[in-house]
Amino acid sequence: MTEPLWPALLGRFGWQDLPFVRAWADPSLSEIIGAGAGALVVVGGLAVVVLITWLGRWGYLWREWFTSLDHKRIGILYVVIAFTMLSRALVEAVLMRMQQAAAINAPGFIAPDHFAQLFTTHGSIMIFFMAMPFLTGAINYVMPLQIGARDVAFPLLNAVSLWLTAGAAGLMMVSLVIGRFSTGGWTGYPPYTELAFSPDVGPDYWIWAVTLGSIGTTLSGLNFAVTIYKLRCPGMTLMRMPMFVWTSLCTSILMIFAMPPLTVATALLALDRYLGFHFFTNDLGGNMMNYANLIWLFGHPEVYILILPAFGVYSEVIATFSSKELYGYTSLVIATMAIAVLSFTVWVHHFFTMGQSANINAVFGIATMTIGLPTGVKIYDWIWTMFRGRVRFSVSMLYSLAFMMTFVLGGLTGIILAFPPLDYLVHNTLFLVAHFHNMLIPGLLYGMLAGYHYWFPKAFGFRLDEKWGRISFGCWVVGFYLAFMPLYVLGAGGMTRRSQAVFEPAFRPWLYVAGVGALVLLSALASLFVQLWVSIRNREANRVPVGDPWNAGGLEWSIAAPPPEYNFAVIPTVNDRDPFHGDKADGDPYAPPKRYEAIAMPANSMTGPALGVLGAVTAFGLVWHMWWLAGFGLAAGIATIVARSFVRDLHRTIPAAEVARIDRHWRRDIRKAKPVGRAVEGTPANRGLAEVEA
């Protein structure tokens, strides 16, 4: 424990809370790595600030991005957060894999406490600050376009959600520089995370980062659900919505109802830690089993929040790149809804071993097996979509194919885990770790990457580099199999999860293979960044200004790439699914509107960034017991909300002449472009205008 430096001002902060001071005192490799990470954050943050200042772009960033309420800008910022945090968490994974490979009857190079922080941050970041922002960003960008809307129902709330998430992610990064993180795993089980066993700042960082993020997510779910219910364009009935919108709707419903249990669990833990309550303590009536119950009431629907948007992406991608209509739309809708509702009935399978009766376990085991059925229906629908289609092996399609095969394997191990007696054997072993990575990487991550490749041209106006896309894909798939298949063997062989040290020499070859896999996965990530660099460099050659590079059917493809701020010059009316396919088949997909009208868009607002910063400041104050700072942050946050409510001028009007000018500019691009067939869609000949067969 560290000596507080200046309690009145700095709470419980002391010099020892800086990793640089700790590494100086104890220059072990473990401490040096920790200090290096902290240094990276500081230097990296400074470098970004210096770069932006040198380029003179603060004004631009503030006006065009940070205070924008445009769902497209907000969506992109979410994805930026996701990629940034993915980089950190993947490096943490590599460190853990290297440690386990090195620590077979040897100390390794990462100390136990450091290792525990690594697995905690890895899980917390991947779930809350990589996966959630990635899918929230995808839904944010794509869903309003697909329903023919100009923005989400509550644009300011959207910005607030983004900035709360950003503030929480910032808090995670600050924990690398000041203090330490929790060692209690991403689910933070008490009594280990109670004051009696973890009096340090770690669990507090975890609690507040997760709380800020979860508030953001709940509000996003609310926003998306209301948008889909209320803002669909004329003619778009529920059964004419694209599958990505259906999955976004069900994801939103899950967000609305599944985040509150997390808020309750972390809030009660905070009450225990800050005010001496006894919800989950060992003494005076605490019941830590209720924590497991609450956290998994959240945790199970959470994994369906993670996977449903990916399923939506696959539906879009597989249909488009099979050059065929999506098979079994109604069954896909019913399956999605079934998954959403059933996801609230299976949470006990995360703690089969906690001690409840066999009958209770049996009920939840059966429910868990049941939830595999609608997913199976979806897989069949996707296979039937490809059947007799003309399948094109674009990068997005490659991810979808890898998903279908690999995810099903993981699903089978899920059915194994759904049997309580089998679960008793492998609970908390690497078998479980292999299972959930087998669901999340081929499921969620490939889905998000498929979506990234699919919609990037729409968002930025040029396609991503194909070659590096395939290199990255190859590394992701090979890396995944190498890194995680051995874990099934290790888990079945008895190796416990979260182990800093290994004492069974028989595990060695498997751990080595897994280690190599981790390095391949790191290459996969690096390839993605190379791809982005190359794509930006080659952007002129790969421009698709007309906006339909893949000959797809959703409304988002019927507008320019990048789209204008207001999305549609005239709100479309639809009369079928895949309305753009219908328009193209009818022969005049780019008919100009009869007249242009002025469009009112939400004016920029600094409320989002203000609340994000103030939320993070309040959280930081709470973590370090700087009560003055926490109080200030909270008061200023409330004042910001009240002040915003007094603002009357909430809109900016874009004059009809301006709308007309932007639209005509796009129509010039359409006239200049030549329609291309699918054979050349990956070449510079593709300007985003699809050749439609009669």
Partner 1 sequence: MTSSKADAAREVRSYAIGYLLALLLTGFAFGAVYWRVASATTTFGIVLGLGLVQMVVHFRFFLHITLGKSSRADLQLILFSTLIIALMVSGTLVILFNLHHRMM
Partner 2 sequence: MSATEGAHPGLNIAHPHAQAQEETETALFGFWVFLMSDAVIFALLFATYGVMLPATVGGPTPATVYEIGPAFLETLILLTSSFTFGLASIAMKHDAPCRRILGWMGATLVLGLAFLALEVRDFITMFAQGATPMRSGYLSSFFALVPLHGLHVAAGCLWLVVMMAQVVVFGLDGRVRINTLRLGLFWHFLDIIWIALFSVVYLQGLIR
Applying CB under 8 A, among 284, 357, 505, 694 the residue interacting with partner 2 is 284
By a kind-dependent CB cut-off of 5 to 8 A, residue 386 interacts, out of partner 1, partner 2, none, with none
CA 99 from chain centre, in angstroms, equals 27
Give the nearer residue to partner 2 in terms of CB position, either 254 or 326: 254
Tokens 């009958």 belong to residue: 359
Is residue 277 involved in binding partner 2 (CB under 8 A)? yes
DSSP state of 507: G
Is residue 69 involved in binding partner 2 (CB under 8 A)? no
Which tokens belong to 96?
């853990």
Alpha helical stretches, state H, 56-194: 58-61, 71-102, 112-124, 132-146, 155-177
Window 196-235: residues binding partner 1 (CB under 8 A): 229
Cα 205 to Cα 120, 173, 175, 498, distances in angstroms: 11, 10, 7, 20
Is residue 20 involved in binding partner 1 (CB under 8 A)? no
Window contacting partner 2 (CB under 8 A); options: 72-80, 82-90, 263-271, 498-506: 263-271
Applying CB under 8 A, among 355, 595, 646, 693 the residue interacting with partner 1 is 355
Is residue 344 involved in binding partner 1 (CB under 8 A)? yes
Applying CB under 8 A, among 76, 219, 348, 482 the residue interacting with partner 1 is 348
By a kind-dependent CB cut-off of 5 to 8 A, residue 354 interacts, out of partner 1, partner 2, none, with partner 1
Window 464-523: residues binding partner 1 (CB under 8 A): none
Report the distance separating Cα 153 and Cα 232, nearest Å: 10
Applying CB under 8 A, among 207, 297, 445, 617 the residue interacting with partner 2 is 297
- Compute how many residues bind partner 2; rule: CB under 8 A: 43
Residue 287: how many other CB atoms lie within 10 Å: 13
Report the distance separating Cα 136 and Cα 455, nearest Å: 14
- Picking from 112, 156, 366, 381, the residue whose alpha carbon sits closest to that of residue 246 is 381
Residues 6+ apart with CB under 8 A from 357: none
* Three-state secondary structure string covering 60-82: HHHHHHHCCCCHHHHHHHHHHHH
Give the nearer residue to partner 1 in terms of CB position, either 128 or 352: 352
Is residue 645 involved in binding partner 2 (CB under 8 A)? yes
By a kind-dependent CB cut-off of 5 to 8 A, residue 347 interacts, out of partner 2, partner 1, none, with partner 1
By a kind-dependent CB cut-off of 5 to 8 A, residue 648 interacts, out of partner 2, partner 1, none, with partner 2
Give the nearer residue to partner 2 in terms of CB position, either 126 or 268: 268
Window contacting partner 2 (CB under 8 A); options: 160-168, 243-251, 274-282, 464-472: 274-282
- Picking from 100, 142, 132, 141, the residue whose alpha carbon sits closest to that of residue 241 is 142
Helix orientation angle between 395-418 and 430-439, rounded to the nearest 10 degrees:
140
Question: Helix and strand tally (H, E) in the chain?
Answer: 24, 2
Give pairs for 104-109: CB < 8 Å, separation 24+: 104/502, 104/503, 104/504, 104/505, 104/507, 104/508, 104/511, 105/502, 105/503, 105/505, 107/501, 108/500, 108/501, 109/29, 109/30, 109/33
Window contacting partner 1 (CB under 8 A); options: 56-64, 235-243, 352-360, 417-425: 352-360
Window 402-431: residues binding partner 1 (CB under 8 A): none
- Compute how many residues bind partner 1; rule: CB under 8 A: 19
Per-residue binder mask for partner 1 (CB under 8 A), 276-315, x = binder: -----------x-xx--xx--x------------------
What percentage of the chain's residues is helix, strand, coil (to nearest 5)?
70, 0, 30
- Picking from 225, 125, 113, 100, the residue whose alpha carbon sits closest to that of residue 508 is 100
By a kind-dependent CB cut-off of 5 to 8 A, residue 271 interacts, out of partner 1, partner 2, none, with partner 2
The H or E element that residue 519 is part of is: helix 508-537
Question: Rounded to the nearest whole angstrom, what is the least distance from the CB of residue 286 to partner 2 in the complex?
Answer: 5
Applying CB under 8 A, among 80, 178, 195, 354 the residue interacting with partner 1 is 354
Window 139-158: residues binding partner 2 (CB under 8 A): 153-154
* 51, 43 Cβ separation under 8 angstroms: no
By a kind-dependent CB cut-off of 5 to 8 A, residue 594 interacts, out of partner 2, partner 1, none, with none
Window contacting partner 1 (CB under 8 A); options: 56-64, 348-356, 415-423, 657-665: 348-356
Window 208-237: residues binding partner 2 (CB under 8 A): 218, 222-223, 225-226, 229-231
Applying CB under 8 A, among 192, 257, 512, 590 the residue interacting with partner 1 is 257
Which stretches does DSSP call E strand in 466-531? none
Strand partners, 104: 502
CA 197 from chain centre, in angstroms, equals 31
- Picking from 126, 124, 95, 88, the residue whose alpha carbon sits closest to that of residue 111 is 95
List residues near partner 1 by CB under 8 A: 229, 253, 257, 261, 287, 289-290, 293-294, 297, 344-345, 347-348, 354-357, 360
List residues near partner 2 by CB under 8 A: 153-154, 218, 222-223, 225-226, 229-231, 256-257, 259-261, 263-264, 267-268, 271-272, 275-279, 284-287, 290, 294, 297, 600, 638, 642, 645-646, 648, 650-653
